[in-house]
């Protein structure tokens, strides 16, 4: 049987490689697919990704959809002026053109249905390169705040060879905005984890001593501290929780949550701040050391990778039934569901798990089993590789305007 020829795959990402769900998704997917294909990433970052070529974008200023922990004072896309939109787009486009001319991709993978899809659409029109889009959710949220991006993104969505979404709710949201007629080329592919980074058991060498956790029950949250994450309801719940609550992450809500903790006179809530690559060992230990992980989201977000990371560490989760979370969490099997915006419900479910050791351990084992079976990057990468190989473009043998000419049919007078 003839072996498939390696493809050159180029990812377009508008955020750093660390600090967000989409950054982690793109980084891990690129690293996994680079085991069999040639992979490049165009993004505002230059950190190493195994076997991948990085083309760094130099933005005129940091900008995000809802905030970014590595850019604590960044602008938001829906607040940009027309000139600022042009400046950001120009940075994306110029870097991508240089990358395309150097790397010669067979297919482009654009993350977020926003400005990077405009760039991908340009590359298809001018260079004839097919592209796919992955919707992570926050790009849609930004479009709801600011309709200026709608028409250019809608054109890109129409031109995409395939569209993927990280949850069923994200897929439905995208189709509601850009048209149900895209349903046939849209499928759900959630994020995953590298299971090799999460052995069944990991010794706790740092955090017990550093944070005085010996013989204490630990409740943990990790993620961006923004309003949709609903962390304030965990803080309110803490006054009833019989354990120590640790909150890892940075974002626009950090100061507000710290002030709220002081106002409520809580002594069992501890803020760790944003834990980047340098604090990764501590973060991993918290996933294993925690008795319960809580994700009190109040919006239909994608399946959070932090939830999968906790589950891989055999830690049961207390979560809301929002967005993509039910893809991985089954109530009473590997975690418990709580009502959104309900601090008392959070406290009751957390305390039940803290008090029932056997049930908690069983749920933790079940949590890991689900991750092993359905949510590893190895499994997810195979799915994407099949998509990439279904829509390759041959850039080396194609003149820049060939694809455009094929699509142009003029009528009227002959010259």
* Residues 305-315 pLDDT 10s: 899 999 999 99
Asked whether residue 244 falls in the same domain as residue 277, the answer is yes
State the pLDDT at residue 411: 39
Q: Is residue 398 part of a domain?
A: yes
Cα 103 from Cα 98, distance rounded (Å): 9
Looking at the fold, whether 176 and 235 belong to one and the same domain comes out as: no
Q: Are residues 386 and 342 in the same domain?
A: no
pLDDT at 210 over 60: yes
Same domain as 231, residue 152: no
399: pLDDT strictly greater than 80: no
How many whole angstroms separate alpha carbon 332 and alpha carbon 400? Answer: 56
Cα separation, 380 vs 374, whole angstroms = 9
Number of domains in the chain: 2
According to DSSP, residue 4 is labeled P
> Tokens 């944003």 belong to which residue?
274
Q: Is the pLDDT of residue 5 over 70?
A: yes
In a domain, 412, yes or no: no
Tokens of 363: 């749920």
Write out pLDDT tens, residues 9-36.
999 999 999 988 899 999 999 999 999 9
Using the 8-state DSSP alphabet, how is residue 271 labeled?
E
Looking at the predicted structure, is the pLDDT value of residue 101 above 70?
Answer: yes
Residue 415 lies in a domain: no
Sorting pLDDT into bands at 50, 70 and 90, what band is 402? very low
Longest dimension (CA), the chain: 86
| Residue 11: strand pairing partners | 41, 109
Position 3 pLDDT exceeds 70: no
pLDDT of residue 217: 98
**Residues 320/297, Cβ–Cβ less than 8 Å:** yes
Asked whether the beta carbons of 320 and 338 are under 8 A apart, the reply is yes
| Arithmetic mean of pLDDT over the chain | 92
Whether 8 shows a pLDDT value over 80: the answer reads: yes
Residue 393 has pLDDT above 60, yes or no: yes
Are 188 and 210 found together in one domain?
A: no
Q: Are residues 174 and 25 in the same domain?
A: yes
- pLDDT range class, residue 2, cuts 50, 70, 90: low
Cα 171 to Cα 186: distance, rounded to the nearest angstrom:
7
pLDDT at 404: 42
pLDDT > 70? residue 412: no
| 3-state DSSP percent of the chain in helix, strand and coil, to 5 | 45, 15, 35
Rounded-to-integer distance, Cα 188 and Cα 186, Å: 7
Residue 66 sits in the same domain as residue 97: yes
CB 244 within 8 A of CB 216: yes
Distance, first Cα to last Cα, the chain: 52
CA 322, 324, 325, 331 torsion: positive or negative? positive
pLDDT, average across residues 161-176: 93
DSSP 71-129: BTT-EEGGG--HHHHHHHHHHHHHHHHHHHHHH--SEEEEESSSHHHHHHHHHHHHH--
Q: Tell which wins on pLDDT, 408 or 344.
A: 344
Residue 185 has pLDDT above 90, yes or no: yes
Distance CA 21, CA 223 (A): 9
Domain of residue 157, CATH code: 3.40.50.2000
d(CA 252, CA 68): 9
Q: Are residues 369 and 389 in the same domain?
A: no
Could you report the per-residue pLDDT of 336-362, keeping only the tens digit for each?
A: 999 999 999 999 999 999 999 999 999
Q: What is the pLDDT of residue 303?
A: 73
Residue 283 has pLDDT above 60, yes or no: yes
Structure tokens at 326: 């039910």
Band of residue 304 on the pLDDT scale cut at 50, 70, 90:
confident
Give the structural domain span for 246. 195-374
d(CA 145, CA 147): 7
pLDDT of the residue at 406: 46
User: Measured on CA atoms in the order 350, 352, 353, 357, is the torsion positive or negative?
Assistant: positive
Q: What is the pLDDT of residues 103-143, one digit of tens each?
A: 999 999 999 999 999 999 999 999 999 999 999 989 998 99
The answer to whether residue 59 scores a pLDDT higher than 70 is yes
Whether 218 and 362 map to the same domain: the answer is yes
- On whether both 179 and 32 belong to a single domain, the answer is yes
Give the model confidence (pLDDT) of 264-278 as tens digits. Answer: 999 999 999 999 878
DSSP string, 314-347: T--EEEES-TTGGGT--BTTTEEEE-TT-HHHHH
Regarding whether 263 and 138 lie in a shared domain, the answer is no
CA dihedral 155, 110, 85, 145 (to 10 degrees): 70
Both tokens of 366, joined, read 């079940």
pLDDT of residue 396: 57
Residue 170 and residue 34 share a domain? yes
């Amino acid at each position: 049987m003839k072996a498939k020829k390696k493809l050159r795959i180029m990812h377009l990402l508008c955020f750093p490689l660390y600090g967000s769900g989409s950054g982690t998704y793109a980084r891990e997917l690129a690293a996994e697919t680079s085991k069999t294909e040639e992979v490049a990433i165009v993004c505002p970052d230059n950190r190493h990704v195994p076997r991948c070529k990085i083309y760094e974008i130099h933005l005129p200023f940091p900008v995000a959809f809802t905030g970014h922990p590595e850019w604590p004072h960044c602008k938001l896309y829906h607040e940009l002026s027309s000139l600022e939109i042009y400046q950001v787009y120009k940075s994306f486009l110029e870097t991508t053109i240089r990358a395309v001319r150097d790397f010669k991709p067979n297919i482009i993978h654009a993350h977020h249905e926003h400005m990077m899809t405009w760039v991908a659409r340009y590359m298809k029109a001018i260079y004839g390169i097919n592209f796919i889009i992955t919707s992570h959710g926050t790009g849609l949220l930004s479009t709801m705040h600011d309709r200026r991006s709608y028409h250019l993104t809608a054109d890109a969505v129409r031109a995409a060879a395939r569209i993927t979404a990280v949850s069923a709710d994200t897929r439905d949201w995208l189709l509601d905005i850009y048209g149900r007629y895209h349903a046939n080329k849209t499928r759900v592919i959630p994020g995953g984890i590298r299971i090799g980074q999460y052995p069944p058991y990991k010794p706790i060498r740092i955090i017990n001593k550093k944070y005085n956790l010996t013989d204490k029950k630990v409740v943990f949250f990790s993620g961006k501290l923004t309003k949709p994450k609903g962390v304030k309801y965990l803080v309110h719940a803490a006054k009833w929780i019989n354990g120590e609550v640790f909150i890892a992450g940075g974002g626009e809500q950090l100061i507000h949550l710290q002030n709220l903790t002081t106002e409520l006179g809580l002594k069992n809530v501890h803020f760790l701040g944003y834990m980047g690559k340098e604090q990764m060992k501590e973060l991993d230990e918290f996933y294993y050391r925690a008795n319960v992980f809580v994700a009190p989201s109040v919006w239909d977000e994608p399946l959070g990778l932090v939830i999968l990371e906790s589950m891989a560490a055999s830690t049961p989760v207390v979560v809301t039934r929002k967005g993509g979370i039910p893809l991985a969490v089954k109530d009473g099997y590997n975690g418990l569901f709580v009502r959104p915006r309900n601090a008392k419900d959070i406290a009751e479910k957390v305390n039940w798990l803290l008090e029932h050791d056997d049930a908690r351990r069983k749920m933790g084992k079940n949590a890991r089993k689900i991750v092993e079976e359905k949510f590893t990057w190895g499994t997810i990468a195979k799915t994407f590789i099949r998509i990439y190989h279904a829509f390759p473009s041959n850039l080396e043998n194609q003149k820049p305007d060939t694809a455009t000419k094929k699509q142009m049919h003029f009528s009227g007078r002959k010259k």
